[in-house]
Amino acid sequence: MAIETTTDAASTLGGLAVLARGPQFVAIDKPVGLRSTPALDTSAVVSSDHKRKRQERWSEVAAHNASDEAATTLPAELASGLRKLGEDAASVPRKRQKFVRYCARSLKADDATAEALWGHLQRQLAAEEASEGLEMTDSALSRVQRAHADAHAVHRLDMETSGVLLIALDEAGAASLGGLFERKETSKVYEAVVAGSPDADEGEIALPIRPDVDRRPLQVVDHEHGKPSLTRWRVLERLADRTRLELTPVTGRTHQLRLHLQAIGFPILGDTLYAHEEARGKSDRLMLHAKRLAFTAPQSGEDYDIIAPCPF
């Protein structure tokens, strides 16, 4: 079923338009400029002492959640994972990607379980920091958590990108829904406005991507060390100096759509990271929108085709 955005007040959550609801999830229309998940507010200078204390706090959270008492309310697989993490809590990485790799290596956990463990520990850490008066940035997830304390984002959109964002309502939902993204059992469609006009009406971009280690968070095309990345595109509308495209990311690398389009000479308007100066100046926002997400809910078997109309 296709579910379109409504502006009815009953269909909002934390001030965000709700596109769809299911037993294990809520899908919201994330506005441009809002983070998908919270981060520590770094508007103030963060001292090295604070960073050290935050690492210590993270290890303490991992150790505490390994206890039988803390794990009793969690699904058995997650409770078992937490107990194993607690056996060497000081070694548990704080960075998300390193954490997922650590879980795969040390716990033999799949990515969905690792993401669920990560979300659980992050919420515990956020609660600890809030109790000490440390501020976290606003985010789609934190707004949903006001009504659903155990909510967890199972995928992310760049802060500059608007559109469909799926949020699991509990740990079990995070594990099962996260598995859909890991196994590539979702269909995602984006809409973008780019500078220039491609000769063809449709095509594919197959360029390998890796992080630019010297200029994070930028990504670069690297034919030797990059991960295989594939984007399909088709023209929706041609205008004088720009083109509206529909984009289907077959893989889901960081900044994939932005980098792929820049690499073939058609940067997205308003892209402050990858577009040239002229293309950046043609829009006051990144002209990229996640307009559609389709999947089959693991628990109910119901098919969802969730649509957020493009705002530009």
Other Cβ atoms closer than 10 A to 51: 12
Residue in this structure with the two tokens 């992080």, named with its chain if needed? 211
Rounded to an integer, what distance in angstroms lies between the CA atom of residue 205 and that of residue 239?
22
Q: What residues form DSSP beta bridges with 245?
A: 192, 235
Q: Which amino acid is at 210?
A: R
Rounded to an integer, what distance in angstroms lies between the CA atom of residue 93 and that of residue 89?
9
Q: Write the CA distances from 83 to 14, 61, 63, integer angstroms.
A: 33, 12, 8
The count of C-alpha atoms lying within 13 angstroms of the C-alpha of 165, restricted to the half-sphere facing its C-beta, is: 31
The count of C-alpha atoms lying within 13 angstroms of the C-alpha of 181, restricted to the half-sphere facing its C-beta, is: 22
Per the omega criterion (within 30 degrees of 0), is the bond before 217 cis? yes
Q: Write the CA distances from 282 to 196, 265, 267, 279, 311, integer angstroms.
A: 12, 16, 11, 5, 16
Helices 96-106 & 111-131 angle (0-180, nearest 10): 130
Handedness of CA 305, 167, 298, 229 (dihedral sign): positive
Q: What residues form DSSP beta bridges with 273?
A: none
Active site residues: 158
Cα angle: 24, vertex 28, 34; to 5 degrees: 125
Q: What residues form DSSP beta bridges with 206?
A: 230
